[in-house]
Structure 1
């Protein structure tokens, strides 16, 4: 193991101890989306690499996704008691209050620290980093980190840019206090942001700026918008740059990485990011074809699928990377631990 990682063996951090993920039952294939948008299924597949997505039924909400994903993660490691819950989401049940306390209560953890974190598609990596700091403080012993988004609820279903790309889902990990040198221990974490890029992905309405400016409730402003070409450029650049910085600090060469598990934005972004880092694209975990872009849920969903397929195994060197609205980005690396998924947890 590289010298600088050995030097960090006694640094307290978060250790991944459990994993779970969940998608709604309703499957929406490309033919349904294509008919609605007046395009072909080939048009969707060629631009995104996506074949299908999972969508909440009416009356469903982000908290429903988060609760089920959290329950599965807890079951995977013996249902431990937790001291805090972080919910990474950009589609909370309500603008106010936060959704995390309700999720904690539904899971049976009234009284624990619980809060939302909004870094859009980077939310899960951000939340992991925050959990590492909380556990390193010595105040907390065990936590639950959930990434969940119901993006379908903020989409204009007639928008050819966003409607084909997104799906709903939730993913979660149980984290415990441990050390950077052990399997599952989060070592180097690097996060970043650039507020000058806030307009490339945005939901204009619903916040204080709209209301204080006296802007009317135009329905179009309530939908998520995205500048596709700009997102592609910045996603590849930021994820590859931050990933390379993490590898350098950890003393890993790109060839040392067994699996790149990046935010599942679309297939082209995933393969381009791997190539920019210097990792073979066949070492990039890809399940965006089956679940689409699930925002903060995408990395844990990809991890579950990689385990179920037999690709990801204990001892693998794993690099996690994400880019999201804000703009935000982040990456971290770890040696994958020996985890057992809940019995009913199936690949998506």
Structure 2
């Protein structure tokens, strides 16, 4: 199924390999169906529950999960795989430690002494393509080396399992997990054909953390922090996400001279899927039919004229992995034999309530 494209210009970066990690604890949709108390949003298409998701173990941190993913890479390629790392970039969905982030800890525990350590927070679900772009720029400026990318989604077991939050419709969707990748400017691997990152700061205030009673997230209090969803905000997010992900993917496809429908693979973030495909216990619990409609995954591939068979996802096993969804799904589709050497893969995602979007296309060249 390899796409042949003339005059493809490579983005002067190579994805050497990517690896995913899932915690051992696997939680079914039935657990949340028995807890549901958020009648107002339970039937919304945004909250059609996956069959399963994974939760980080008690005390398992972002750094722990990134290290677990990174060790998959050293197990594959040898203990010297990170010897040339000069840049470490990390993204945690829920940074456990204020101010410093976890990048320095990850580098230290891997025995690295990079020139640059950077915690990339604002990329959200689009962080993978964003980090590839940042890594490429930093490596070019330094004249070489490699960049280790570490991503962790750790809010499912912490934010969404709080006793005031786990009965809300939103709680059944996220799962925990991590991914790691190595990026270089040359050598063997998967050439990055094009990258686009786009900021829409006017929408940033639409993603809010709330509690009852109201408090700032660092203040002590009885109200547990969660995401402030309303029907009006959900409608805005659906409209923006449905537009942004295919738009930025089409921009990259045009820049490399390939029609979107000719892409071999589309790998996106996975906020939800079309209701009521999974989580039927959830809908039975609400005692009413769901509000039917087409959610992100189907709309995105339809916009790019791609069949479902070329749009892999891990939603039913992992739920919404936020920034980890793209690299972990890419790793899964390579591992199970769907993606082959020479295939053109478009990754695309949007972040938060639509304040950022990014896409990166690559020609898969194997694990190197």
**Structure 1 runs (4+) greater than 6 angstroms displaced:** 42-46
In the alignment, structure 1 residue 195 sits paired with structure 2 residue 201: yes
Deviation at 1:75, TM superposition (A): 3.4
RMSD: 2.8
Secondary structure at 1:300 match in 2? helix
Secondary structure at 1:187 match in 2? strand
In the alignment, structure 1 residue 339 sits paired with structure 2 residue 338: no
Cα pair 1:100 1:116 within 8 Å, conserved: yes
Deviation at 1:138, TM superposition (A): 4.3
Cα distance change of structure 1 residues 56 and 254 upon mapping to structure 2, 3 Å threshold: same
Question: What whole-Å deviation, never above 9, does each CA across 1:193-231 have from its counterpart, x for those lacking one?
Answer: 2122224333359xxx948xxx95455463233443332
In the alignment, structure 1 residue 139 sits paired with structure 2 residue 147: no
Contiguous gaps of at least 5 residues in structure 2? 274-294
- Cα distance between partner residues in 1 of 2:140 and 2:199: 23
In the alignment, structure 1 residue 289 sits paired with structure 2 residue 339: no
Corresponding residue for 1:154? 159
Corresponding residue for 1:92? 95
Cα distance change of structure 1 residues 305 and 329 upon mapping to structure 2, 3 Å threshold: same
Give the length in aligned residue pairs.
Answer: 327
Corresponding residue for 1:346? none
Corresponding residue for 2:292? none
Question: What whole-Å deviation, never above 9, does each CA across 1:42-81 have from its counterpart, x for those lacking one?
Answer: 9799953611000012222211111111222343333231
- Cα distance between partner residues in 1 of 2:46 and 2:269: 19
Q: Structure with the greater relative contact order (CA < 8 A, sep ≥ 6): 1 or 2?
A: 2
Corresponding residue for 2:132? 128
Cα pair 1:89 1:123 within 8 Å, conserved: no
Cα pair 1:317 1:334 within 8 Å, conserved: yes
Corresponding residue for 1:345? none
- Cα distance between partner residues in 1 of 2:48 and 2:186: 39
Secondary structure at 2:185 match in 1? strand
Corresponding residue for 2:347? 320
Contiguous gaps of at least 5 residues in structure 1? 341-348
